[in-house]
Amino acid sequence: MFGWFKKNNEEKKFLKLYNKIGKYYNKGQYTKALQEAVDALDVYPNIFELWEVKGQIDYALGNHDKAIDDYNKAIELDNNDADAYFKRGIAYSKLKNYDKAIDDYSRTIDLDKNYADAYNNRGVTYLELKNYDKAIDDYSRAIDLDKNYTDVYNNRGGIYLELKNYDKAIDDFNKAIELNNNDALAYYNRGNAYHELKIYDKAIEDYSRAIERDNDYALAYYNRGVTYFDLQNYDRAIEDFNKAIELDNNFKEAYAGLSEVYKELNQSQKAEEYLQKAKELGFKTEEE
């Protein structure tokens, strides 16, 4: 996390302070790290790396506005620091200030054309704004820079899935799985693509693989339950919907799924009970 700091021209005293901040930060002791950063800034107020580190700590503590203030100060001291723009962009994204986030990711890329993470994050932000073409373009640029960037294949595949371009989606999820055979999300996503194509056996296989890699994957249980429902395998659907609810007691769609199963089984009282529970949690039927 702190390896980017240029050490060669700094005093031993400063390096001792700086490394102490890093030690606490890397252990997740953010409050202690913050106090050390504040103390260091009292002595070295004009070192941009310190402000950037304080921004990281404030962000980790959930103080996103303060983190932005810290990054502002770092950029004021060095407006060519690509990392500070990138990290400020992350903070803006967290606050849903997407226009400013895009501006910062773009500035990062202006300063470093090979900054694959900046392309990825800008793509994520464009996705939030439903600007799918620009998101795909940025994900593709990130992949051009790093062919092994597993997350980006998942991200781009997710957009292709949204656009119903299932073949391209599956290609991207295949690549993510090739790069990381333990990527539960990639199996889950590919399962969704197969489900949309009504290739239910492959969808169930992929949801099961996702669950093997993450036993707490409530969405994978739910979607596998939906697939079993589509195959009229109601016993397995009930098992999966119940497991999803066990993992997330507020999973309204899973309650609604149970309602649909019991409706098909002509158990109207149970169907109504589960539907009412789903509605209590905010589920709305198509008629509503």
Quote the number of domains for the chain: 2
Tell whether 222 and 274 lie within a shared domain: yes
Residue 32 domain flag: no
The two tokens of residue 261 are 């199963």
Look at residues 207, 229, 254 and tell me which one is the last residue of a structural domain.
Answer: 207
Residue 269 domain flag: yes
Residue 286 domain flag: yes
Query: What global pTM score does this model have?
Result: 0.87
- CATH number of the domain residue 192 falls in: 1.25.40.10
Burial class (CB in 10 A: 0-12, 13-18, 19+), 65: exposed
Burial class (CB in 10 A: 0-12, 13-18, 19+), 11: exposed
| pLDDT average, residue stretch 159-163 | 97
Confidence of residue 9 (pLDDT cuts 50, 70, 90): low
Pair 157, 169: CB distance under 8 Å? yes
Tell whether 197 and 164 lie within a shared domain: yes
What angle is formed at CA 252 by the lines to CA 283 and CA 202, rounded to 5 degrees? 115
pLDDT at site 1 = 42
Please state, as a whole number, how many other Cβ atoms lie within 10 Å of the Cβ of residue 15.
12
Tell whether 227 and 249 lie within a shared domain: yes
Tell whether 282 and 220 lie within a shared domain: yes
Residue 194 domain flag: yes
Residue 125 domain flag: no
Tokens 């580190």 sit on residue: 53
- pLDDT value at 10 more than 80: no
Residue 238 domain flag: yes
Residue 17 domain flag: no
* CA–CA gap between residue 223 and residue 237 (Å, rounded): 9
Q: pLDDT tens-digit profile of 223-256?
A: 999 999 999 999 999 999 999 999 999 999 999 9
Long-range contacts of residues 192-196, Cβ cutoff 8 Å, at least 24 apart: 192/161, 192/223, 193/157, 193/161, 193/166, 193/169, 194/170, 195/223, 195/226, 195/227, 195/230, 196/161, 196/164, 196/166
Query: Over pLDDT 70: what percentage of the chain?
Result: 95
Amino acid at 55: G
The two tokens of residue 217 are 């994957």
Q: Can you give the residue range of the structural domain that contains 177?
A: 147-207
- pLDDT value at 59 more than 80: yes
Residue 61 φ/ψ, nearest 5 degrees: -85, 0
Tell whether 232 and 173 lie within a shared domain: no
DSSP 158-183: HHHHHTT-HHHHHHHHHHHHHH-TT-
Residue 104 domain flag: no
